[in-house]
Amino acid sequence: MQEINNSSSLEGVLFDLDGTLVDTAPDFIVAVNQLRNAHQLDSLPASGIAEQVSNGSIALTEYAFNITPEHADFPSRRQALLDHYLNCIGQHAALYSGLNDLLERLHKADIPWGIVTNKPIAYAQPLLENLQLIDRCHVLICPDHVSQPKPHPEALFIAAKKINCNVSATAYIGDHDRDIEAGRAAGMKTIAAAYGYISNEQKIEDWRADSIAQQPQDIHSTLERLFSCTI
């Protein structure tokens, strides 16, 4: 039974996708190295690829081939990477440990949860379908649905409206500074996912999130603390 302090009630929870809700790096590691091997190049370390996942396909292509977007082969190699990724999407990715329990608790407490991501819907939807999360998720907002992607807060405003939640009573969780910037701009409580795809150069403390979750299992207690509730 949900017990919530009315002065700071939790109405909804929104997650970034890659590196926050789902560990998608294993799929990208396979895709990047398959493509490199097809070009007679050695496989790259998994850790290096994982650090680039939250930065998107442009960063992954730059990392995979050490070329810039101005390179003549960049568009074709980026598309080839995306094709490899789509072929293996959801085969190696998995919900982070402890988050299935949290999603179940939110469901039992009638607290809707959703996803706000910069991942295009052409990849986000099949990923969630393959992980059997699409029917559990109350809202999925991708760049396809907005005029301005994160760090602009537009996507978060749309998501909160779709799940009928006040922004001040909604949490947004992400592993990139743009996630926290978007959440703060939307007026939501923000949780930085320190376990996500964060490079050594980034200082998560500088993001000014309301709280930092060192492990995915920490999110449950962090939500209860931020919103003075029991889930």
Catalytic residues: 16, 18
Q: How far is CA 167 from the centre of its chain?
A: 19
Q: Which two tokens stand for residue 227?
A: 């919103």
Q: H helices within the chain, ranges in order?
A: 25-38, 46-52, 56-65, 74-88, 99-108, 121-130, 154-162, 177-186, 218-227
- The residue type found at 164 is N
Partners of 170 in the beta sheet? 12
CA-based max dimension of the chain: 61
What is the chain's Cα-based Rg?
18
Q: Whole-angstrom Cα distance, residue 105 to residue 141?
A: 22
Are 116 and 172 in contact, with CB atoms under 8 Å apart? yes
DSSP for 9-77 reads ---EEEE-TBTTTEE-HHHHHHHHHHHHHHTT-PPPPHHHHHHHGGGHHHHHHHHHHT--TTSTTHHHH
